[in-house]
Amino acid sequence: MTTAPAPTPAAPPPAARAAGITLAGQALRIAIQFGSIVLLARLLLPEDYGLLAIVLVVVGVGEMVRDLGISTAAVQAGSLPPAVRDALFWTTTAIGCALCGLLVAASGLLSALFDRPQLTGIACALSVVFVLNGLATMPRVTLTRRMRFGALVGADVTGQATGALVAVAAAWWGAGYWSLVAQQLTQGVVVLIVVAGRAGWLPGRPRWAAGTGPVLRLGGHLLGTQLVSYASNNVDAVTIGLRFDPSALGLYNRGFQLLMTPLNQVRSPATTVALPVLSRLRDEPERFDEYLRRAQLALGLTVVTGLAIVAGAAGPLVDLLLGPTWSEVAPILALLAIAGAAQTLAFVGFWVYLSRGLGAELFRFTLVTSSLRVVCVLGGSHWGVVGVAAGYALAACLEWPVSLWWLSRVTAFPGRSLCLGALRILACAVPAGGASLVVASTAAALPTVLATAASLLAGVAALALAPLLSRTVRADLSGVLAFGRAMLRRTAAPTPPSTPSGREALSS
């Protein structure tokens, strides 16, 4: 009698595997980020961060012009033949070289505008970033299209860790703001080397190829969106840099980096995973909508609730991570945590625009919300740096309901389900943040470590009560945990080798 072999358990879906790999990598990146923030805050001055922040605002604008929206448009494209890929590579590289020269030429003007002679040298050094990232764009696109997220995570983690080590070593030897410049350049070089090696292709000769135009047109729409969004996102830093001194900008920058950099290291890779998946599901409305609902709950019940607890515990957290010298960062951190929570709730709507190729509609929406943000930030600046942070948070809270309404006008999506899901997330997050704030206020006399631990534990305890009080929240949490278990199982299991399909072989 022959015994039939036991059935092989079904492997978790590729999206779960990709998310698991990405989240594991992001956990490492966040740990590295926090470690470098804690160490460098004790070795550098607020003015050092303020000087770098001024130049990085300019570099950020240039980076979007250099990319031309190509990276996102190329990932979303149905196919990417080798000739098109080569044309896009040379396009981003040429623009990167041109921007490098332009920033060097404008470095003196930048220094005069902010009345800081140090900005000339910083701008000249950081101009190299344009060239490095221009060379790395298409290798990253290739790895993303092949869904080789492990390679991307490895490149980013290696680059960030190496850059952090170089920065800490340079700061230890007294390099001041140059240690932060060295961090940026080291990270760019390492990431380029790793992604180019893992992508495994060399570009052909420069040439124009049929099929390049549609990618550039979609990228142009996305570029307009990104430029407007970036300008409004950085109106806070520019306003502080122009109205106050570099030390004030350094304080704001530390609060922003302490919160937004780890947050973006969760949201950006989530987009990297979600975009190719949603692009494949756009002709299957039910599965598309279900993915959006699950994604919002996964982000909300983890990120939004975590941000609420951070907002409540901002005082002792800043003292613990940065030291008492940076105590003025605490209210800034709390307000930016509120802003980050509101932005995260609206984040899945951004995926809908990208996956359905609605570049023009996204641009118009961004014009409206960016105008709102500029008004709020400029109005808040009358009350100093904390007022700027309050304006930024107010704008983010107003943008969330506007985003749901605007998206409902241009495409079909599960707006009602997303709205109800967001309200359930807030029903968990607000009590958790409130409990954390109450304990942080009453435990202020305790040692910093104890006050921080008590505040965080209070928030977690309040959050743990939510599933006990609501059957719907229990169901939401069960779905998120099931998805998380699938990611962990798939991440832990070895990935069998596979031969890429013709489409995969052509494609970050």
Biggest distance spanned by C-alpha atoms of the chain: 88
Is residue 171 located within the same domain as residue 294? no
The count of domains in the chain is 2
What pLDDT score was predicted for residue 471?
76
Cβ 85 vs Cβ 142: under 8 Å: yes
Is residue 113 located within the same domain as residue 48? yes
- The CA–CA distances, whole Å, from 333 to 52, 252, 256, 312, 318 equal 19, 8, 7, 10, 8
- Could you tell me the residue range of the domain that residue 195 belongs to? 43-219
User: Tens place of pLDDT for every residue, the chain, 508 residues?
Assistant: 444 443 333 334 455 555 556 566 667 777 787 778 778 878 888 788 888 888 887 887 777 777 767 776 676 666 677 777 888 888 888 888 999 999 999 999 988 888 888 999 999 999 999 999 889 888 888 887 777 777 888 888 899 899 999 999 999 998 888 999 999 999 999 999 998 888 887 787 777 766 666 666 666 666 666 667 666 667 787 788 777 777 777 788 778 877 877 777 677 767 767 777 787 787 788 888 888 888 888 888 888 999 999 999 999 999 888 877 788 889 999 999 999 999 888 888 888 887 887 777 888 888 888 888 889 988 998 888 899 999 999 999 998 888 888 888 888 888 888 888 888 899 889 999 999 999 999 988 888 899 999 999 999 999 888 777 677 777 777 766 665 555 444 433 333 333 333 322 223 3
The number of beta carbons lying within 10 Å of the beta carbon of residue 34 is 14
What pLDDT score was predicted for residue 213?
65
Is residue 213 located within the same domain as residue 270? no
Is residue 102 located within the same domain as residue 200? yes
Is residue 179 located within the same domain as residue 293? no
The DSSP secondary-structure symbol of 45 reads -
Cβ 142 vs Cβ 507: under 8 Å: yes
pTM higher than 0.85, yes or no? no
Q: Residue 457 falls within a domain, yes or no?
A: yes
Is residue 366 located within the same domain as residue 480? yes
Is residue 175 located within the same domain as residue 304? no
Instruction: Identify the three-state secondary structure at position 53.
Output: helix
Is residue 289 located within the same domain as residue 436? yes
Separation of alpha carbons 173 and 307, rounded Å: 35
- Among 219, 248, 267, residue at a domain's last position: 219
- Among 219, 248, 274, residue at a domain's last position: 219
Q: Residue 38 falls within a domain, yes or no?
A: no
Q: Which candidate, 206, 181, 169, 266, places its Cα nearest to that of 84?
A: 206
What pLDDT score was predicted for residue 212?
67
What pLDDT score was predicted for residue 241?
74
Is residue 200 located within the same domain as residue 313? no
What separation, in Å, do the N-terminal and C-terminal C-alpha atoms of the chain show?
51
Is residue 122 located within the same domain as residue 190? yes
What pLDDT score was predicted for residue 4?
41
Q: Residue 508 falls within a domain, yes or no?
A: no
Q: Residue 386 falls within a domain, yes or no?
A: yes
Separation of alpha carbons 281 and 356, rounded Å: 10
Q: Residue 23 falls within a domain, yes or no?
A: no
Q: Amino acid letter at 459?
A: G
The number of beta carbons lying within 10 Å of the beta carbon of residue 24 is 17
At 211, list the tokens. 């099929």
Q: Residue 18 falls within a domain, yes or no?
A: no
Is residue 463 located within the same domain as residue 346? yes
Q: Residue 260 falls within a domain, yes or no?
A: yes
Burial class (CB in 10 A: 0-12, 13-18, 19+), 50: buried
Is residue 280 located within the same domain as residue 407? yes
- Among 164, 194, 219, residue at a domain's last position: 219
Q: Residue 247 falls within a domain, yes or no?
A: yes
What pLDDT score was predicted for residue 438?
94
List, in order, residues 6 or more apart from 33 with CB less than 8 Å away: 160, 164, 261, 262, 265
Cα 413 versus chain centre, distance: 24
